[in-house]
Structure 1
Amino acid sequence: MLQILTLTVPIYLIIALGFACVRVGVFTREQMGVLGQFLLRISLPCLIFRAISQYRLEEVLNPGYLSVYVSGSLLAWLGGFAYARWHCRHGRSRSALYGQAMAASNSVFIGYPIAQPLLGPAADIALPLCLLTEVAIIIPLTMALADAGENLRWQQSLLQSLRSLLKSPVFLAIAAGLGWSATGIVLALPVQKTLTLLSSAAAPVALFMIGGMLVGQPLRGAGQDLGVLAAGKLLLHPLTVLLMLWLLPDFDPPLQTAALVFACMPIPVLLPALAQRYGLAGFCSAALVVATALSFVSLNSWLAMAPWLMQWVQRH
């Protein structure tokens, strides 16, 4: 347990530092947006490209991992959508965002800094596969249904989402990394070092930004829904991925552990940005606050149980 805490506590200390710096006025909340642009357009694409390009294509496109993580994430998405749509009687837009909140993880900014020292190369392979699941399946599905709730045909909404996806720096980095991986060419050493320097900034800058963005987020007015979203992300998503690990054929054990670890992560910082066009940015930001705070307990608990859970999965 102490080894796990040495990995997770620094993550939350950097988040707390970002919160404190914005709270006391060292930085403004608006300045966190500049950090976000650097992350999304420079540092994160470099991290993704480097993580993919250093492995062979057949290692990166692991069908076992994709089948487990995609199916588990879709089950969690359906759980969130069903809760909002039929239990709470929310509209289609809000229901789709509930689904995304439960099915998309903060894979890069919290997941990777924890998984990489814990799992090594398995985390490098798992990260782009998690991002591919989210940017190619979960986000387009969410946007298609959310836009359809605004009286657009879902086919038209899906097409618009896919067009936006093709321009996304994250998607372009995944595509470029896969293309380079397919060539089998090793990157020149100066290029490798440049990518390493740029990508190494992603985690600490992102964690600092997360803390800064949490300042001033409203937490009132939807207490029950916030609790359900946090529980869905921190409990339901790992459980659905664990179920798929049990039901579907086995693959590389470290990658199986990586699938569970990434599913345990809190709500991604991208969700409030997606929710802004539907007037739900405040609510989704509040959900992000609650899930990120509670994840300190849930994440450490999942990590402590992971070795036993993986043994149970592999025996069955």
Structure 2
Amino acid sequence: MDSFIYSINATIPVFIVMVLGMFLKKTGMLTDEFIDSGNKFNFKVTLPCLLLRDMANTDFNIGKDLYFIILCAAVTFVSIIGVWFLARIFIKNKSLVGAFTQVSYRSSAAVMGVAFMQNIYGASKTAPLMILGAVPIYNIMAVIILTVEGNKDSEGRLIDGNSDFKFKDIVLRSLINIAKNPILLSILAGSLISVSGIHFPHILTKAVSSVANMATPLAVVILGASFSLNATLENIKPVIWAVTTKLVILTIIFLPIAVFLGYRNEELVTFVIMLSSPATPSCYIMAKNMGNNGELTASVVVLTTLISSVTLTFFIYLVRVLGLV
């Protein structure tokens, strides 16, 4: 029961803020113009500041914890490739492939994951290690996938009508988008700051932190305002599959591997949280700004945030019952 209450306390407040966004959109206080501008502001300013701050504050002196970081990175990469491969085969509406893939694998590890670990352990040394292993791959692969799959119609043709788009053109476009993507640039800059040990004036770090603190609440409000029940029902099958993949399937596949490798207690709980946390609101920001389906993304983020309070609690309860924690 304690684990369930902890999970509820971590997920339901976020869901309530989403509902606030829905309500404000219905009343007309939040307009479509505000939502579009807010998405761009989040994508280009607040989210990069958040990632810059978090990466700059990450301790890269990893030592004996390297194997756990490698495990998180390897599982993240394999799950992404697997979901993407299957999505390209089985999803009939090819315009949904990019959004479906991203929202099926990308956990809110840096925000919700840390909240869960703080609720369970008070403080955690393994959560930053998990973030270091998974989050950069989340973001890098999201840029690649959303670039390759973006701006396509239901048949998989580019909306600009260029049906002769060659593989080398896709690679070139992906490289260009990666090179100028504010998310990846902020991760790189933050990592360099952490490794170099540079300390900026308190005034500057305070300003960056103030902007960073806007990222998650603003994203959640806009996410709620962008949620459409009709769009959810129109894409109900991929929505259900994405929610199930994010919250259940990946955990069922990869949790036994971590157990087999001998991980227990806090490391195992951190691993469960990495796999079973709800999809991050930044999925919507990136999908919307990179020519992918924002409605599908919003639907899955909202539903995973609500349902994860039950599914994540179940997996934590399961490892406790099995005597692994």
Q: TM-score range by the shorter chain?
A: 0.7 to 0.9
Segments of structure 2 that go 5 or more residues without pairing to the other structure are 158-163
Aligned residue pairs, count: 311
Distance 1:33 1:313 in 2: 48
- Structure 2 counterpart of 1:34: 37
Per mean C-alpha deviation after superposition, the further-off stretch among 203-212 and 238-247 is: 238-247
The one-letter code sitting in structure 2 at the alignment partner of 1:130 is A
Which SS does the other structure have where 1:105 is aligned?
A: coil
What is the aligned partner in structure 1 of residue 181 from structure 2?
A: 168
**Closer/same/farther in 2, CA of residues 139 and 22 from structure 1, 3 Å limit:** same
Q: Give the deviation of 1:5 after TM superposition.
A: 1.9
Change over 3 Å in CA distance of 1:249–1:132 after alignment to 2: farther
User: Which residue is 1:137 aligned to?
Assistant: 141
Structure 2 counterparts to residues 283-294 of structure 1, below 5 A: 285-286=295-296, 288-294=298-304
- Equivalent position of 2:161 in the other structure: none
Kept in 2, the 8 Å contact 1:35–1:209? The answer is yes
SS in 2 for 1:218: helix
Offset at 1:103? 1.9
Contact 2:149 2:292 in 1 (8 A): no
Return closer, same or farther for 1:195/1:314 CA change in 2, 3 Å cut-off. farther
After TM superposition, give the deviation of residue 10 of structure 1 in Å: 1.1
Cα RMSD (Å): 3.8
Equivalence for 1:6: 9
Aligned positions of 1:1-316 closer than 5 A? 1-59=4-62, 63-87=66-90, 94-95=96-97, 97-107=99-109, 110-111=112-113, 114=116, 119-120=123-124, 122-124=126-128, 126-127=130-131, 129-141=133-145, 143-144=147-148, 150=157, 152-215=165-228, 218-248=231-261, 250=263, 254=266, 256-269=268-281, 281=293, 285-286=295-296, 288-303=298-313, 305-306=315-316, 309=319
Task: Report the alpha carbon displacement of residue 314 of structure 1 after superposing the two structures with TM.
Answer: 6.1
Cα deviation 1:143-182 (Å, max 9, x = unaligned): 4477996554445423321221121111111111111111
- Change in CA separation of 1:162 and 1:269 when aligned onto 2, cut-off 3 Å: farther
- Single out whichever of 143-152 and 225-234 deviates more from structure 2: 143-152
Measured in 1, the distance between the counterparts of 2:74 and 2:171 equals 20
SS at match of 1:187: coil
1:49-90, Cα deviation, whole Å (9 max, x unpaired):
222222333349964344333332344334434544445566
Contact map agreement 1:72 1:244 (CA 8 A) in 2: no
How far residue 313 of structure 1 moved from its aligned partner, in angstroms, is 9.4
Distance apart, 1:104 and its partner CA: 2.1
Structure 1 residue 23: Cα displacement: 1.4
Q: Distance in 2 between matches of 1:95 and 1:274?
A: 14
1:58 is paired with a residue of what secondary structure? Answer: coil
Deviation for aligned residue 1:259: 3.9
* 1:280-312 Cα shifts (integer Å, max 9, x gaps): 62xx62353145224422344314643753896
Structure 1 unmatched ranges of 5 or more: none
CA contact (8 A) 2:48 2:182 kept: yes
Q: Taking structure 1 as reference, are residues 190 and 72 closer, same or farther at Cα in structure 2, changes over 3 Å only?
A: same
Residue-by-residue CA offset, 1:188-217 (whole Å, 9 max, x unaligned): 332332232222222211211111111465
TM superposition score normalised by structure 2: 0.76
Residue 292 of structure 1 aligns to which amino acid in structure 2? V
Mapped to 1, the partners of 2:283 and 2:232 lie a distance apart of: 16
Amino acid at match of 1:285: E
